[in-house]
Structures are given as C-alpha cells and as structure tokens.
Amino acid sequence: MSNESTPSEGVLNPLPDINFDVGDPNGWYRYVADSLVLTGLARRSGETYAREVRILVRRFDRPPFMLSEGDVRTFILERHKKLNGSSQRILYRGLRFLFNDLFKYDWELLKGLSAKREIIEPTILSREEVGRLFNSIKTPHIYAYLRTVYSCGLRLSEALNIKPGDIDRAGGLLHVRQGKGAKDRKVVLPSLTLDMLGRYWRLHRNPDWLFPALGRDGKGGPTATKPMSVCAVQGAMRRELKRARITKARVTIHSLRHAYATHLLEAGVPLTVLQQQLGHEKMHTTLRYVHLSKPAQVDSARIIDRLMGAIR
C-alpha cells in the first residue's frame, strides 16, 4: 500500500488471519506480540513492542488499519514527550512492525524515525549492600528469587521462568532458557543457592515452576500454572530496598545482575567466563563492567598518578 492511501477513510482488513475483535486493543497486543515471536524474537521482547500498539488502538478507539499516516504522526508526537530515548526506540519498532511489515504500508513517516541512544551508567550495589538487602528480606519466595537473580547473574524474566528441570544438581549448573535474543545458556549454580532452591521448592512442590505465582492468599504455589508476575517482584524489590535502607538512585532487580558482574570481575573471574555467564553475544557488552569495578578504577588511578608524577 502506498503512502497515498488513506486508511482512515475505510479500507478492508489487510490481515485475513485475524480472528479477534478488531476494535480490541488487547487483541492487537496479542496478535502483534505473537507475530514478532514468529520472526524469532523472544516472547518478552515481542510483548514489549506490542504494548505500544495496544496504546495506539486505545488512543484512537478504532482498528489500526483505519488510521491515517497523520493519525500515527499525532500519536508519535504525543508519546515522544513522555518517553526517553530507549522507550522511543521501542515505540518506533512496534509501529514499524505493524504498519510496514504486517500492513505493508509505504509511509515516509516511519522510515525516518530515530532516537538518540542514551548512555546511563548502571547503579552498582556493593557486596555489603547486597548482603544487607538479603538480610532484610522476610518472605521466603522473594528471598529465593532475588538471591537467585544475584548469585546467577540473571535477568528478571530469566529467573521468573526457571523450571525445576532446569537445575543440573550433579553438574552444579542452571539451564537458562530463552534468554535475551531467544538464546539458551548454562550458568554456574553456586552450591549455597542450589541448597536454598531445594528448600524453597519443597515448600510448594510445583511441578512446572520454581517460582510459581502464590495467589492472593499465598497458598496457590502448588497448583499455579504460571510464575510470579513481573509487577509482583518489582514491587517487592522496592519494598525490600526501603527496608534495607538502600537509598542509591535507579536501583532495580537488574542492578543485582550488574552487581554480580562487577563483583565477579573484582574477584578475578576472566572476562570470557563472565561473558558466557551473562549471555552476552558480544564482548564489548561485557567490557562495560571493567571500568565499573573498583580494582580497575583504583589501579588506573595509581598508574596515571605514577606516570604523570614521573614527568618533572
């Protein structure tokens, strides 16, 4: 469809395989998310991009194939004011996939969209702060979950989706399935974490999930059909940070993964091993932690001071 087309004036549904109410924002969310997964994208990534499509449909209260290029331009300008660079890229990716890849529209608007990549240094918790956080946690499921995130260097969703069968007790390994980029990897599972997970699993014995959703009464673990929600663990993290009196800015569950990486480097773990543990495709992603680790900062300062002091 060329950019002269005006979908808002009324066009036929360009996707014949749609089997949901075309006015339902959640229907479009699921359709776009599933379509992105079929292209090879990880489920969580597909859902992230699809959320912008759901917001779009809600904003105009009509199917996206009934929107004009001008409508979408208005939507982008409205959303642009509320989003940072990273979120803007998510917005553009979701809209391009829907209108360019699925609808085959040839809109100039979507071709030139770009967002400046923001470089924000991650907040690093010290080993003392991580210990303080764990010592303040009173609920077994949150303790087990956050301890696993840190001690295995996992992303939020990677830890939530662990199944009992992913644990290799004999090898001391954890099989991380469908990580970023829909890739699997195996990471070292510390013996203390292994023992802790065994004790926690015996509290609920859910056959499918290591961290099952417990339900409102806290008793749904044994029969839960899905893991704990993202919102539940994020909220718990915020509460536990307050309890532990950790006031650093921008501390999230992902900060535990950053802490894992820097603490391992400080202890002398080789970069190649750290790259494998974290599941980084490229080494330059892992290298960012080198300048965040204290030994690197201290050694660099000492070397610079010595070299500059030698010049009289």
Catalytic annotation, residues: 155, 180, 254, 257, 280, 289
Alpha helix (H) ranges present in 161-282?
Answer: 191-204, 230-243, 253-266, 271-278
Residues in the chain: 312
Q: Could you tell me which of 155, 163, 204, 201 has the C-alpha nearest to residue 180?
A: 155
CA atoms within 13 A on the CB side of 295: 10
Secondary structure (3-state) at 272: helix
Q: Which amino acid is at 42?
A: A
Cα–Cα distance measured from residue 33 to residue 53, given in angstroms and rounded to the nearest whole number? 10
CB 249 within 8 A of CB 123: yes
Cα–Cα distance measured from residue 200 to residue 221, given in angstroms and rounded to the nearest whole number? 11
Cα–Cα distance measured from residue 265 to residue 267, given in angstroms and rounded to the nearest whole number? 5
